[in-house]
A and B are shown apart, each in its own frame.
Chain A
Amino acid sequence: MNIYSNAGRFLRSALALAACAAAAAMLSGATWAAAPAGQSAEALSDADKTCLGCHGAEGLKKDLASGESLALHVDGAAFAGSVHRPIGCTGCHTQINLAEHPAKTRKIASARAYALEQSENCRACHDRVFKAHELSVHAQRVREGNPVAPTCATCHSPHAVRPPSVEESSNSTCLTCHAGVADVHAKWLPNAARHLEAVSCSGCHAPAALKKVDLRLFDASADKRVADSTGKLQFDKLARAADTDGNGLDPMELRTLIAQVSRQIPKATFVGHLEVRNGVDAHELLAKTNASQNCSRCHSDAAAPFQVVTVSAIGPDAKLVRYDAHSSVLTSAVTVDVLRGFYAIGGTRIKIFDVLLALGLIAGISVPVLHILIRRLTRRQAKHPGENT
């Protein structure tokens, strides 16, 4: 390749970009001007704005050989707020040759073939996730050629992907395809609806993954998770201030934290959520026959998932603010009122009641025993036995 052909490619690329830029200028741009708080359209690079000049137009599509249409529209606002914004369009679409774009001659067999091809792009950055995913029932179905087996984009819309931890419910993604699981679980699982609310799907369906409990800051009056979009709450700062010894929040320090938060959110509380410690492991989802149905993995004394505890709130830019807490916050009587949304019988029992139960049983047994002893000792004095209960 000589210098002239390179210059020619550059010139064609420049012309293509200029054409897209012109289109971008002509389009209202409203699609991506209204980015989420903290992520304005200005956050997008010029190159991405250029791409969105065409791809921001709703209804943009490509007809495929299979007779299907491949949607080419990208929601600019969602992309500006996604975790993929920093890498830009060409971060994933490496095969795009701007000099020949749009490539009218490019043949795409089907939407499915394109989705599978694009999934390979994800591997470049998400190699560990890929390795975990390769072990999953989802990957197995893809390998078997199942036409509806999910690819990366089925669960994680690549142009709008947000940190999984800030999704309202991590299970909602799964329920998109697995509708009706509530009924299936209700057939064998006591309190099934509660389990689906408080436990992530990967909590049981990725049995090898290590689990933990995240105590999410919750506004009981608004009935939703606290999202500190303005940064006024400063959850991280409050948590650090409450943690006076700097080794994570103990039960009393958790009370202090909630008291501080309550100055701004009067009905603040924590709602627990059992999830995998490492998001990578969440991809190793096994078939339901291999999912854990062993209740005692959680419902047992000192169960592993309850040994790692964090508190969290959604901070500015929709990023999750997390702080470590002691596992004892789950088993302390001190936190009964501030940790109102999480209790796993057998696993997070309040320890002081073990002592009270022992005292109760000792009292229940010793009172009759002592009474019998005293009656025997005083038998000579007794003239008449008692009469009734």
Chain B
Amino acid sequence: MKRAYVHPLPVRLWHWTNAIGFILLILTGLQIRYVGIVSVISFKAAVTMHNLVGFVLIANYFLWLLYYLFSDKIVVYHPELDPRKYFRGAFRQMWYYGYGIFKGEPNPHHVSAYRKFNALQSLTYQLIMMVLVPIQFYTGLLLWDLERFSGTVEFLGGVRVVATIHVALFIFFSAFIFVHVYLASLGPRTSTHFKAMLTGYEELEEPPAK
């Protein structure tokens, strides 16, 4: 079976740090928000851990950002620069997940080192990594020390507005993680993509014999 090196080491380090970090943030976030209902660890311990993990992930985010900014791998997010083709690709991928996969149609996307994402993935991950994750980190930073950032908090409409944005995104990420893990299981075999994110090598499906 052919293999392609699609997940370089910095990306894998970033991904798994991010994965563990997000799970910890979601769990400690649940403990913080539902203290009195959920009582796994103390409120203070949950806040301390949430803050600590948050800062680790902010630093980790820059590992991801700088790696892609300063390597040619940034192409994986935009192998196709024609927006019409790009959105058509995303639509085709949605069609596949929503209909074609049940009919046994082949996945319209084929992985290679510089085309590791399908158009739908590329679109989703860019929205998450360039918009939603920075907003979540930023609102988390503001909530970490409200007095230090009081001017910004007031500008944004006050602490309840900032907290509301943070909680709304927390709900999105909590839901997204399930879908993300499920989609990762839709490889040639269930374990294919998980193994690839550990080893860096993606197994490529052989084209059907003619």
Among the listed stretches A17-25, A116-124, A160-168, A343-351, which one makes contact with chain B, having 4 or more residues with CB under 8 Å of it?
A: A343-351
Provided the pairs A356-B171, A360-B172 are in contact, do residues A269 and B158 lie with their beta carbons within 8 angstroms? yes
Q: Which residues of A contact B184 (CB under 8 A)?
A: 389
CB-contacts of B4-60 with A (<8 A): 32-37, 42-44, 47-48, 51
- The dominant DSSP class at the B interface is helix
B109 at the interface (CB under 8 A from A): yes
Instruction: Please tell me if the beta carbons of A386 and B160 are within 8 angstroms of each other in the complex.
Output: no
A382 to B101, CA, bound (A): 7
- Interface residue B134 (Cβ < 8 Å from any Cβ of A): no
The reply on B178 being an interface residue by CB < 8 A is yes
Instruction: Flag if B147 contacts A343 (CB, 8 Å).
Output: no
- Within 8 Å CB of B145, what residues of A? 191, 193-194
| B:190-210 near A, CB below 8 Å | 193, 202, 205, 208
Cα A193 to Cα B150 in complex, Å, equals: 11
Check B163 for interface membership: any CB of A closer than 8 A. Answer: yes
The verdict on A67 contacting chain B, using a C-beta distance below 8 Å, is no
Inter-chain contacts of A342 with B (CB < 8 A): 159-160
CA distance A388 to B186 in the complex (A): 6
Q: Are A388 and B33 in contact (CB under 8 A)?
A: no
Q: In the complex, which of the residues B47, B51, B159, B176 contacts A364, with contact meaning CB atoms closer than 8 Å?
A: B176
**Contact A194-B147, Cβ < 8 Å, known A349-B33, A387-B110:** yes
Does A346 contact B32, Cβ atoms closer than 8 Å? yes
Q: How far is the CA of A124 from the CA of B96 in the complex (A)?
A: 84
Tell me how far the C-beta of B126 lies from the nearest C-beta in chain A, rounded to whole angstroms.
15
* Least CB distance, B109 to chain A, in whole angstroms: 6
* Alpha-carbon gap, A219 to B125, bound state (A): 42
**Are the CB atoms of A367 and B182 closer together than 8 Å?**
yes
B6 to chain A: closest residue by CB: A388
Which residue of chain B has its CB nearest to the CB of A378?
B102
By beta carbon, the residue of chain B nearest A196 is B147
Q: Which of A56-64, A243-251, A309-317, A332-340 lines the interface with chain B? A: A332-340
A102 in contact (CB, < 8 A): no
| Chain A residues bordering chain B, tally (CB within 8 A) | 51
B109 x A387 contact (CB < 8 A): yes
Q: How far is the CA of A364 from the CA of B51 in the complex (A)?
A: 26
Q: CB within 8 A of A368: which of B37, B147, B178? A: B178
Check if B103 sits within 8 Å of A378, measured CB to CB.
Answer: yes
Tier of interface size on chain B: 35 or more
Q: What separation, in Å, do the CA atoms of A296 and B160 have in the docked complex?
A: 19
Query: Is the beta-carbon distance between A301 and B35 smaller than 8 angstroms?
Result: yes
A190 touches which of B51, B121, B175, B183 (Cβ 8 Å): B51
Contact yes or no, A385 B175, CB < 8 A: no
Q: A301-B36, A357-B171 are in contact. Are A382 and B103 (CB under 8 A)?
A: yes
> Does A337 contact B43, Cβ atoms closer than 8 Å?
no
A349 partner residues in chain B, CB cutoff 8 A: 33, 167
User: Interface digits, A180-198 against B, CB 8 Å rule (1 contact, 0 not)?
Assistant: 0000000000110110010
Contact of B111 among A335, A365, A385, A388 (CB under 8 A): A388
B137 contacts the other chain (CB 8 A): no
* Closest chain A residue to B193, Cβ basis: A389
CB pair A383 B104 closer than 8 Å: yes
Alpha-carbon distance A342/B160, docked complex (angstroms)? 7
The answer to whether A73 has its CB under 8 Å from any CB of chain B is no
Q: Please name all residues of chain B whose beta carbon is closer than 8 Å to the beta carbon of A335 when the two chains form the complex.
A: 160
- A381/B36 contact (C-beta < 8 A), A340-B160, A388-B111 known: no
Contacts A357-B170, A382-B101, A389-B187 given; 18 further ones with Cβ under 8 A?
A191-B146, A193-B146, A295-B42, A296-B35, A301-B35, A303-B36, A337-B158, A339-B158, A340-B157, A342-B159, A345-B32, A345-B33, A346-B35, A350-B160, A361-B178, A365-B178, A378-B102, A384-B106
Question: Can you show 30 pairs from A to B with CB atoms below 8 A apart?
Answer: A193-B147, A194-B146, A194-B147, A220-B154, A296-B43, A337-B157, A340-B154, A341-B158, A345-B143, A346-B34, A349-B167, A353-B167, A353-B168, A357-B170, A357-B174, A360-B171, A360-B172, A364-B177, A364-B178, A365-B178, A375-B102, A378-B102, A382-B101, A384-B208, A385-B189, A387-B109, A387-B188, A388-B111, A389-B180, A389-B183
Q: Which 3 interchain pairs have the tightest Cβ spacing?
A: A340-B158, A300-B36, A382-B104
